[in-house]
Structure 1
């Protein structure tokens, strides 16, 4: 058994098996781990999956580093109420993963939206995301058009994914 000084320097939120280079299996697991973290709506928890100097492009926002990521996500989830997200692997290679995603949320006035997008991720050797580029479009929907109905938090394993839902 290795001593603490011999153990890999991986943040506790990153499983040692989820480091590059990715296989299809580990890329899918990495995508699901990210989805689960974002569905927690806990900015500090989410930020631990990123390098301390991680660089983002999220629409017109450009957070750099974990503190700015926490600030960004705190604002995001104050605006985007009842947030539920599904991510799906699109492609992967070496230390990069591309995903497509959709999430549903409502604003303070009660208007529901489905936000669609794509993300490109680049990871450090320790499995932490060092760059994230997101392109997102918002579509107003009625409450009857919603497809994500699980209780807030992690999407149940038996809930359909994006392709199954025709998204």
Structure 2
């Protein structure tokens, strides 16, 4: 199941970046530790057959590049608009993943994205992370889920 989750998130990210940002050059690799001096962290909660969260870690430069492309305007600092736009990208990716998983009879819903600082609060049955590299910067996804009883 971990491999299926990992691949679903990478594929959804690739599709969303291609459709919304016209970025086609995307690569991925598993990662345990994503180092970045400054980032925008967005958590999307998942409930249903699986529950937990996915944390999207966008370096500030990647966040600004994404929003500049999306809006056609130049942003130099992270503000409420940038956080909202980056949150929406995380929301769309998560929704695409859960739609893909529903084809395997895994039924889940997403909760609204929130800005957060990642922390480890408990053990998860399924935990994986990946770094996705694009022409506008890297993104790290930390996927932490349990199966519903």
TM-score, normalised to structure 1, is 0.31
Question: Relative to total residues, which structure has the larger helix share, 1 or 2?
Answer: 2
**Larger RCO, structures 1/2 (Cα 8 Å, 6+ apart):** 2
> Which has the greater radius of gyration?
1
